Structure 1
Amino acid sequence: MSRKKDLTKKESFWNRKRSDKEKAEDAKAKHWAREWLDALIWAAVAAIILRTFFFGAYRIPTPSMEKTLLTGDFLIVTKLAYGPRTPMTVSVPFTEIYVPGINLPWFRIPGYSEVKRNDIVVFNYPIDVAPISAKTNYIKRAVGMPGDRLRVDAKDLYVNGERAEQYETLMFNYRAITRGGVRLSPAKVREAGGSVVQSGNGEYILNLTSELAGEMESWPEIESVEQFVLPEDFNIFSRRGFNFSRGFNNHDHIPEFTVPYAGQQVELTPENWNIYQDILERYERVSVQQDNGQFIINGEETNLYTIQKDYYFMMGDNRDDSEDSRYWGFVPDDHVIGKAGMIYFSWDGERWLPRVGRMFDLIHS
Structure 2
Amino acid sequence: MKLPFRSQKETEETVPFEKQLKSKAREWLDAIIFAVIAATIIRGLLFSAYAIPSGSMEGTLLTGDYLFVSKFAYGPRMPITPVSIPFLEARIGKDKFKTYWDGIQLPYFRLPGLGEVKRGDVVVFNYAPDAGNNPVDMRVHYIKRCLGIAGDTVSIVDSKVYINDKLFKNAPQTQTSYLVKTDGNGMNPELLKDLKIEVYHQLSLNDYIMIIPPDSYDDFKGRQNIRSLTEIISPKGLYDESIFPHNPAFRWNQDNFGPLKIPAKGWTVKLNDSTMALYGQAIEKYENNKISRSGNDVFINGKKADTYTFKMDYYWMMGDNRHNSEDSRFWGFVPEDHIVGEALIIWMSKDSSALLPDKIRWNRILRTIK
The partner residue of 1:40 within 7, 32, 47 is: 32
In the TM superposition, what are the counterparts of 1:194-209 in structure 2 within 5 Å? 194-199=197-202, 200-209=204-213
- Measured after TM superposition, the shift of residue 186 of structure 1 is 4.2
The partner residue of 2:365 within 348, 359, 362 is: 359
- Measured after TM superposition, the shift of residue 297 of structure 1 is 2.3
Greater CA radius of gyration, 1 or 2? 1
Amino acid aligned to 1:85: R
CA contact (8 A) 1:141 1:314 kept: yes
Higher share in helix: 1
- Measured after TM superposition, the shift of residue 50 of structure 1 is 0.7
Within 2, Cα distance between the matches of 1:214 and 1:295? 55
- Asked if residue 84 in structure 1 is aligned to residue 85 in structure 2, the reply is no
- Asked if residue 328 in structure 1 is aligned to residue 331 in structure 2, the reply is yes
In structure 2, the CA distance between the partners of 1:201 and 1:232, relative to structure 1 (3 Å rule), is farther
In the TM superposition, what are the counterparts of 1:103-142 in structure 2 within 5 Å? 103-128=105-130, 129-142=133-146
CA contact (8 A) 1:174 1:213 kept: no
- Measured after TM superposition, the shift of residue 61 of structure 1 is 0.5
Unaligned runs of 5+ in 2: 1-11, 91-98
Name the SS for the 2:363 alignment partner: helix
Deviates further, 309-318 or 163-172: 163-172
Match of residue 191 from structure 2: 188
CA contact (8 A) 1:168 1:209 kept: no
Within 1, Cα distance between the matches of 2:251 and 2:38? 48
- Measured after TM superposition, the shift of residue 230 of structure 1 is 1.7
Match of residue 15 from structure 1: none
CA contact (8 A) 1:245 1:329 kept: no
Name the SS for the 2:340 alignment partner: strand
Match of residue 291 from structure 2: 288
Within 2, Cα distance between the matches of 1:43 and 1:210? 45
After superposition, give the CA deviation of every residue in 1:79-104 in whole Å (9 maximum; x if it has no partner): 11100011211212223311123202
- Measured after TM superposition, the shift of residue 25 of structure 1 is 3.1
In the TM superposition, what are the counterparts of 1:233-312 in structure 2 within 5 Å? 233-236=237-240, 238=241, 240=242, 244-246=245-247, 247-312=250-315
Name the SS for the 1:169 alignment partner: coil
After superposition, give the CA deviation of every residue in 1:215-269 in whole Å (9 maximum; x if it has no partner): 2221111111121112334444x2x4x7634344421110211111011111222
CA contact (8 A) 2:252 2:258 kept: no
Name the SS for the 2:16 alignment partner: helix
Match of residue 176 from structure 2: 172
Within 1, Cα distance between the matches of 2:207 and 2:323? 18
Amino acid aligned to 1:102: I
Within 2, Cα distance between the matches of 1:197 and 1:209? 13
Unaligned runs of 5+ in 1: 1-19
Deviates further, 203-212 or 146-155: 203-212
CA contact (8 A) 1:58 1:76 kept: yes
Name the SS for the 1:63 alignment partner: coil
Within 2, Cα distance between the matches of 1:87 and 1:233? 43
Within 2, Cα distance between the matches of 1:63 and 1:306? 37
Deviates further, 146-155 or 90-99: 90-99
Deviates further, 312-321 or 104-113: 104-113
Instruction: State the percentage of identical aligned residues.
Output: 37
- Measured after TM superposition, the shift of residue 131 of structure 1 is 0.7
